Structure formats: structure tokens, C-alpha cells
Amino acid sequence: MTISPEDYRFLSDFLKKHSGLQLGDGKEYLIIGRLPPVAASSGFASLEAMVQALRNNPPQALLKSVCDAMTTGETLFFRDGAPFDAFRDRLLPEAAARARAAGRALRIWCAASSTGQEVYSVMILLKEAEAKLQGLRVEVVATDYSTPTLARAKEAIYNQFEVQRGLPAMMLVKYFQPVPQGFQVKPELRQGIAFSEQNLLRPFTSHGLFDIVFLRNVLIYFDVADKADVLNRMARQLHPGGVILLGGTENTIGITDQLGRVEGFTAPVFGRTSDPMVTIRGRKSPPLAAAPAR
């Protein structure tokens, strides 16, 4: 199967406009691999016929199905390690102390949660730190663009291959239960998450302010203008002292002056440059400090 250069250019522009995904040159194989099943299930005789329909004011359901198929990404439990070490050892206790001192809940957002491995990794670490949190209320929000991907995250069932990718055996035994399809995250972890669909190109102020945001390995698919837009708006969603964790290859240099990398972490941790509680590399200011517990 092939796709014409005209159809590829159209789909590239279409996907960028509606989902932020920037394909670039040479990614025809992604279109050919992912969209024919969408065309067939939507009643089109061919991929070309579906593209023609997309050119002519397509129904929202078709638009969403196409973008869903193209934005599904790879993920695994405790991906890259260092961000979760930083979360467990420093970010969580410091954010918890600030939230407790302010008399509010600690709030965490997994902004591109995919099939759920990231947010359940967070939930496991929260459960492990339960005694140290001393009854502090914690609110966890998980969002993703893709409807079927989000449904999988809510279901929280993973096969043998998936649970072997990054999940320690002890945690599998402790926090999962066997089901016919594989292993399902136990209800006490699933019930602590508020799932919802979110296109990061659209407003997300309704989610409120957060102490810690995981925004990992999604902006690599956006162009610079869209990255800047998302990061600038995300910076405004942080509580004082709040931080954003990006993917290992992602940075804010040359993209936004609202966020800068926080010193003292091997993980890519970013804070607001206007926040006096955050030490940004190259700027002399007080170090990130936890508010005293009451």
C-alpha cells in the first residue's frame, strides 16, 4: 500500500491542526500502518476515500478516530527510572509539606497518561509513601488525547509482556491481581485517579493548579510554536514551588522563558523562572525548599 504525496501532506497538516502531532517527512509508513483499519471500520472502501472525506468537513467522530490512531504512543512502568526516583525521594515529600502548610490537597497531573503505566507508577509510589504523607489528601488527574487509550488506562489490565517492562516483581504481587487477560491494577489504586480526555492544544485551566506535572515524551511530536504554547499555559497551572517533569530528550531552552531546569536533579525537572522557591540553572535564587509541616 502507498499514499500519494498530496494525501500525505494533507494528513500531516490535518493531524498537526487537530492534535499537535507533527509527522514531518518520511513518516508515510505510520499513516499506512495505522489508518487503513480506521478507514475500514468507518465504512470507507480505501484510505484514499477516507482522506477525501476528511477534506470535506468530516464528522467529529471520524476526526477523533483518525487522530486517536495516530497519537497512540509507547509507554512502560517507571519509564526511565530517574524521574520516579526524583518524585519519590524529593519532589513528593517537598510538595506534600507545602500542601500541608497551605491547608490544601497535594495535586499531581499525568498530562499524557497513554495506557496508564505512568500514572499507576505514580500511584504505587504514593501508596508506598502513605505513612509519610500522614493523611494528607492527594488528588491525581490523568489525561490523554486518545479515547481508546484512556479507556485502556481506566481498565488497567496489562499482559505478561507489559508488566515485565519496568515493573518490579514485588510490586506486581502487591498491587496487581490476576485476571484472564493478564494482571489488573487493584481497585484501591484505580479509584484514586480522575481520568479525562484532554487535547493539550486546547484550554486545560479547568483541571486547576498542580504541585507536580508529568508531561513526558509528548512534546517531542509538536512543533516549537505548539511546544511554547503548551509549556507557557502549563507554567500557569503550577502551585508555588510546583514542577513539571519532561521527557529525557526534552528541554525548554529556546522555547519558553517561563520555565527553566531545576538544579540538583538528574531527571528533567522544570520550574517557573518567576518562582523564588525554585533554583533555576544559571540564576542565583534560594533553593527549592519545603514549607515546614504543621
pLDDT in tens, 221-268: 888 999 999 999 999 999 999 999 999 889 898 999 999 999 889 999
* pLDDT surpassing 70 at residue 287: no
CA-to-CA dists, residue 82 to 189, 246, 266, 281, angstroms? 22, 11, 7, 19
C-alpha cell at 94: 517537598
C-alpha cell at 140: 491525581
Contact between 22 and 223 under an 8 Å Cβ cutoff? The reply is: yes
pLDDT in tens, 80-103: 999 999 999 999 999 999 999 999
What is d(CA 94, CA 155) in angstroms, rounded to the nearest whole number?
A: 31
Residue environment code for 7-32, b if the CB has 16+ CB neighbours within 10 A, otherwise e: bbebbbebbbebbbbbbeeeebeebe
Phi, psi of 40 (to 5 degrees): -65, -45
Closest CA relative to residue 63, chosen from 18, 27, 10, 23: 18
Q: What is the model's pLDDT at position 294? A: 30
Q: What is the DSSP letter of 158?
A: E
Task: Determine the 3-state secondary structure of 120 from DSSP.
Answer: helix
Residue 162 confidence (pLDDT): 92
Name the residue with cell 493523611.
135
Q: How many CA atoms lie within 13 A of 68 on its CB side?
A: 18
* Domains of the chain by start residue, with CATH: 5-71 (1.10.155), 82-272 (3.40.50.150)
**pLDDT average, residue stretch 193-197:** 96
Give tens-digit pLDDT for 130-162.
999 999 999 999 999 888 889 999 999 999 999
Of 109, 116, 114, which is closest to residue 138 (Cα–Cα)? Answer: 109
The answer to whether 272 and 258 are in contact (CB under 8 A) is: yes
Is the overall model pTM greater than 0.95, yes or no? no
